[in-house]
Amino acid sequence: MTLKEKIKKLLELKPQLRNSDKELLLEIFRLKGVGLTQSQEEKIRDLPAFESITRARRKAQEEYEKLQAVEIVRQARQVKETEYRSEYSNQSKFNYQ
């Protein structure tokens, strides 16, 4: 089962997860056996969105060369980006009719 299929199943089984990425992440943590205390869960809820954190990192690394990741990590990210673009730029995979 792909990650997308697993998320779909969770959203079907627990509609309340549709409203919050953080609650969805916490549910995934629970399912994976990550034993968080109530206090730890509250701290996660108080964090900025994970996407915002990674977006800010990317922007900082783009703006300040000295903050870039090491070469092997940059290469791995480039490969993932290429794979992603290849997968999602092929519009023939989508049927809009």
Threshold 0.75, pTM exceeds? no
Q: Which residue has the higher pLDDT, 1 or 78?
A: 78
Q: What is the pLDDT of residues 52-97, one digit of tens each?
A: 999 999 999 999 999 999 999 999 989 998 988 887 776 555 444 4
Distance of CA 97 to the CA centre of its chain: 30
Q: What is the pLDDT of residues 13-36, one digit of tens each?
A: 999 999 999 999 999 999 999 999
Query: Taking Cα atoms as reference points, which of 33, 41, 31, 36 lies closest to residue 9?
Result: 31
CA distance 80 to 61: 17
